Amino acid sequence: MEGLIKVAGWDNPGRKIDVVFVHGLDGDPVKTWQYNGEAGMFWPEWLGSDEPSAGIWSLGYAVKSSAWRGNTMPLSDRATNALDQLTIEGIGLRPLIFICHSLGGLLVKQMLRHAYDLGNEEFKKLAEQTRGVVFLSTPHSGSDFAGWIKHLGGILRTTVSVDELQAHHDRLRELNIWYRNHPATALMRILVYCEKKPVAGVLVVNESSADPGIRGVNPVPMDEDHVSICKPKDRNSQIYRRVLRLIEDTIANP
């Protein structure tokens, strides 16, 4: 499923904030955020119910690890495409929070960089309205897991997205240096959560890579793996409660 999914509150002209979910590699705008794939367990909808003055959206885009499963774009191109989709819907006219899983966090950082650098006033306004970013197992310095997938590339026919996710990739390093040193970052509310359980014996994003290196921003370890960390099982879950509080605090103090 691709495109900007309208989840809740998007048609409320008096809404106080927009919240955009951004999935990662091989993700989906619904399934990524849905506990056990069950109906009614899609936590973006819970946020819309618990905070009706928020507009909730979920961005879907093609980002596959294997060319056998579909195509993808380089991170830089996808960022420009996503900015255009969001601004078409008027996102950037009010305070904005991004909630990102894995590569989705890298995409949001690239979007913010383009928004400040490309000279497009709509894009720049969106960046200026960004009040917070939640990073869920985002590999700010890449992932060793991507290198392992690349090693199997003769079988999997890996995509450019896997190339860009490899540990210590120079473009990721440059992007993270830009992000942590940009003046706007110091004004954002930034939350970072990292996985502590492996998937099939592999820790996809280790604690070091999950750390964006921003002063005062401390990665919070979770008893979750790379897949489960973005799927709170109920409204009492730690990540859900913290994100809801972030939204409420941002509405109260934009």
In a 10 Å sphere around its CB, with 0-12 CB exposed, 13-18 middle and 19+ buried, how is residue 11 labelled?
Answer: exposed
Coil, helix or strand at residue 105: helix
Running DSSP on this structure, what letter comes out for residue 51? -
Token pair of 203 as six digits: 């820790």
Per-residue pLDDT tens for 42-51?
A: 999 999 999 9
CA of residue 189 relative to chain centroid, distance: 14
Q: Spell out the per-residue pLDDT of the chain, length 254, in tens.
A: 789 999 999 999 999 999 999 999 889 999 999 999 888 999 999 999 999 999 999 999 987 765 434 467 788 999 999 999 999 999 999 999 999 999 999 999 999 999 999 999 999 999 999 999 999 999 997 765 544 344 334 444 444 445 556 544 678 889 999 999 999 999 999 999 999 998 878 788 889 889 999 999 999 999 999 999 999 999 999 999 999 999 999 999 98
pLDDT at 65: 64
pLDDT at 144: 56
Look at the block and give the residue holding tokens 């979920």. Answer: 58
**The dihedral of CA 35, 95, 52, 81: what is its sign?**
negative
Nearest Cα residue to 185 out of 133, 247, 244: 133
CA atoms within a 13 Å half-sphere pointing along the CA-CB vector of 203: 15
pTM of the model: 0.91
Under 8 Å between Cβ of 195 and 229: yes
pLDDT at 10: 96
d(CA 94, CA 167): 35
d(CA 193, CA 72): 26
